[in-house]
Amino acid sequence: MRQNISGGSPYEPIIGFSRAVRVGKAVYLAGTGPVGADNEDAAGQTRRIFAIAAEALLKAGSSLDHVVRTRLFLTRQQDWEAVGRVHGEFFSQIRPAATMVVVAQLLNPAWRVEIEMDAIIPDSLSGPETGAATG
């Protein structure tokens, strides 16, 4: 069964996307920018993304502890280490498969990083199988 997880963005219905989608025991988190942290440095923006991601994963019945893949998009090559260190703060133990790519620009020119994540829902966790979460 499919469950669409809303992040509350007014653009979700216009563009036609969800913050995350859960299908069975897999959760796919959309590219997430540092909404509300436009003036932060790359590390601060990355921490904001992790806060947004953690909330969406929780709504889907998972958590950052169950992320199996990340994709990081940077607008400045020199930010790779700062962003990577924050990634390591959260994932040094579970070490998901990760890709880091430098891009020309993100949707919001103030954003220096955007991250996608894929997670699983282990058998020990339960969560809603159907329906659309809002929030």
Confirm whether 20 is domain-assigned.
yes
Q: How far is CA 89 from CA 15, 39, 57, 94, in A?
A: 32, 21, 18, 11
Any idea of the CA torsion for 9, 49, 64, 16, to the nearest 10 degrees? 30
The Cα 74–Cα 114 span in angstroms is 7
Q: Which residue has the higher pLDDT, 127 or 17?
A: 17
Burial class from Cβ neighbours inside 10 Å (0-12, 13-18, 19+) for residue 101 reads exposed
Quote the number of domains for the chain: 1
pLDDT at 8: 87
Q: What is the CATH number of the domain that holds 18?
A: 3.30.1330.40
pLDDT at 132: 36
Q: What is the pTM of this model?
A: 0.88
Span 56-108, pLDDT tens digits: 999 999 999 999 999 999 999 999 999 999 999 999 999 999 999 999 999 89
pLDDT at 22: 97
The Cα 94–Cα 43 span in angstroms is 20
